[in-house]
Structure 1
Amino acid sequence: MVLKRRGPALWHRLGYLLSFVAPGVLVYACFVLAPILLSVGYSLTNANIFATETRFVGLANYLNLLTDEAFLSSLRVTTILTLIIVIVPNAAGVGVAVLLDRKGWLYNTLRSVFFVPVVLSSVVVSVVWMAMLSDEGLINSMLRGLGVAEPPGWLSDPDLALYSIGFIISWQMLGFCSVVYLAGLQSVPQSMHEAASIDGAGPWLRFRKVTWPLLASSLTTNTVMLLITGFKAYDHIQVLTAGGPGVGTTSTLAFNVMQVGFTANRTGEASAMAIVMLVVIAAVSTVVLRVLNRREVSL
């Protein structure tokens, strides 16, 4: 009798579980797994919307990437841009969080102000900064007012364009990093600061020995998010420089995929690039996550 009663109850529980899990799994399968599998399939062919016949080419598209100058250049550009995006908002975010870790309406307002760029569209942010960094924009006008005869071309100089884009994306992500670090700061027990202060530790020593180790999880979250943001950068590139100035100066992996796939209509090659980008992002994120998680455990 006990087994017979447990049987229907178990099936009811499984039914409830499936009713909650199934919609999420279905959405994930349709919008994540299916596109990835389709991309893998296309990457093994010479797919082109203007081609009369689509043939299986195996790993030829992947092998061609090893000698494709445009792809290798976009990989280098993406690496530099990602390093900027990971380092700058992380470092500046800690400083901003420390400054805003106070009570009062003024600091609450400043927190909202710093977070506003995060919720803005990348296109809107790019258009605003493009106007500010143009030859006759606000930044160069201020430099001329300070006596600089020939201000730099922030987006037109091949030596500066990539760093300017890195700064813009870093500026937009600063609010996110600051909020995450601020949450970490507010979770640090005040008693630990008081104990360190009684032992004679100054503000810098307290931050280095007490606060910073307890921000390990915040650092992990920010670093992984910024890594993904850097590797998939496209909107800012398209609006600000369209991959220029020059040939491929600011062309990232994501931008190159879009150009090859939708401008040159070489769907097979673009799919191979997209799969390589997916593998690179997954591999780098996994390595960084494991390293930072080990740091958290050791602390």
Structure 2
Amino acid sequence: MRLRTPHRPDVSPVEPVKQGAAGERGRDTRPKRSAPVTRRERPKGDLSRFAVFAAPGLLAYLALVLVPIGMTVGYSLTNKNPFNPPTRWVGLDNLTSLVSDDEFLKALQNTVVITVIVTVVTNAGGLAIALLLDRRGWLYNVLRSVFFVPVVLSGVVVSVIWQAILVDDGLLNSMLGRLGVGDPPGWLSDPSLALYTVSWVMAWQGLGFCVVIYLAGLQGIPQELHEAAAIDGCGPLVRFRHVTWPMLAPALTINTVMSLIGGFKAYDQVQVLTNGGPGPGTTSTLAFQVIQTAFTGNHVGYACAMAVAMLALVAAVSVIALGLLQKREVSS
């Protein structure tokens, strides 16, 4: 007896989509990608929102920075003296007179010395302290805060504290006298020491900033690099030379530029500690000379010329230092 198998209808294959008379293909059912929004297609409200948020900052920058700079440049081209009118146009006479001004040149020399000392001491000391504090624990967190405290204090407060310590009958000389030093040095009264004393106070105050920046750079170095160098047999000094120091290039750039700017605009410490002395112009800086010329001598036009020269000098030094240090970042 035979079993009959049920008859299955032939299943014809799916016919391909035929092209129409005009040669058009069938409709593509795949989702189409949205075209990227070009700059011209952005909503018009973006510009208005940007203007609303940026206007307060731009107005403040214009009123507090750009306008005073413009006024200073304008006054530097005159002989403005509020107690001796009228004001006359003198052109570049004020700027050219600075080249032969002994007081200005002495202030420039003192400013360069302070800037070099502050930059070297803060970077070297900040890096050394950061390496010591690059550990975990509550004690190291406390020490980081202690080193950063002078940064948040004003220069006047720091100078008053150090003045009480460094005057001839102050705390430091009293301690030296008890230790048997018969003639303690005059830290602020000796013309050969006063400039270095002011530089030390400024470096001490700016040390904490460099410590924080270097600590941030150290904590951003991948630990795998140190481990790989240690596996290769590199000692601590070699690892610092070839791993740590190149990775700290951005931190070095920030600290160096900020220290240079801070050194060139030194005023508070000089005013409080020495008032430009002891002696004529022993510790006078560019900023101190500008203030004295404008508000004590009332020669506003000449003081503005000093300020313009100071601005150009700081800008040039900062741009050169930034360019050189950024090249080191790329090469590192």
TM-score, normalised by the number of residues in structure 2: 0.87
Distance 1:247 1:83 in 2: 22
Q: How do residues 107-126 of structure 1 correspond to structure 2 at under 5 angstroms?
A: 107-126=140-159
Q: Structure 1 residue 236 and structure 2 residue 269: aligned?
A: yes
The answer on whether the counterparts of 2:76 and 2:303 sit within 8 Å (CA) in structure 1 is yes
Q: In the alignment, what sits opposite 1:220? A: 253
Q: How do residues 1-299 of structure 1 correspond to structure 2 at under 5 angstroms?
A: 10-299=43-332
Distance 2:87 2:171 in 1: 51
Residues 105-159 of structure 1 deviation map (CA, whole Å, 9 limit, x = unaligned) = 0000000000000001111100110110111212112222222110100000000
The farther-off stretch of 70-79 and 138-147 is 138-147
Deviation at 1:223, TM superposition (A): 0.4
Distance 1:226 1:241 in 2: 21
The amino acid of 1:176's aligned partner reads F
Distance 1:190 1:200 in 2: 16
Greater fraction helix? 1
Q: In the alignment, what sits opposite 2:4? A: none
Distance 1:144 1:87 in 2: 31
Distance 1:215 1:235 in 2: 31
Residues 179-209 of structure 1 deviation map (CA, whole Å, 9 limit, x = unaligned) = 0000000001111111111111111111111
Residues 54-108 of structure 1 deviation map (CA, whole Å, 9 limit, x = unaligned) = 0001001011111110001100000001000100010000010001001000000
The answer on whether the counterparts of 2:168 and 2:188 sit within 8 Å (CA) in structure 1 is no
The answer on whether the counterparts of 2:134 and 2:215 sit within 8 Å (CA) in structure 1 is yes
Residue 66 of structure 1: SS of its match in structure 2?
helix
Distance 1:7 1:210 in 2: 47
Distance 1:143 1:7 in 2: 74
The farther-off stretch of 250-259 and 46-55 is 46-55
The farther-off stretch of 12-21 and 255-264 is 12-21
Q: Which entry has the higher C-alpha Rg, 1 or 2?
A: 2
Distance 2:329 2:142 in 1: 32
Residues 28-47 of structure 1 deviation map (CA, whole Å, 9 limit, x = unaligned) = 11110000000011000000
TM-score, normalised by the number of residues in structure 1: 0.96
The amino acid of 1:14's aligned partner reads L
Residues 226-284 of structure 1 deviation map (CA, whole Å, 9 limit, x = unaligned) = 00100000000000000000000000000000000000010000000000000000000
Judged with a 3 Å threshold, the aligned counterparts in structure 2 of structure 1 residues 210 and 7 are, in CA distance, closer, same or farther, namely closer
Deviation at 1:8, TM superposition (A): 9.4
Deviation at 1:21, TM superposition (A): 1.9
Output the aligned Cα RMSD.
1.2
- Greater RCO structure (CA 8 Å; 6+ sep): 1
- Number of positions where the alignment pairs a residue of Structure 1 with one of Structure 2: 294
Distance 1:87 1:52 in 2: 46
Runs of 4+ more than 3 Å apart: 6-10
> Which ranges of structure 1 fall in alignment gaps of 5 or more residues?
1-5
> Which ranges of structure 2 fall in alignment gaps of 5 or more residues?
1-38
The farther-off stretch of 143-152 and 44-53 is 143-152
The farther-off stretch of 158-167 and 13-22 is 13-22
Judged with a 3 Å threshold, the aligned counterparts in structure 2 of structure 1 residues 8 and 185 are, in CA distance, closer, same or farther, namely closer
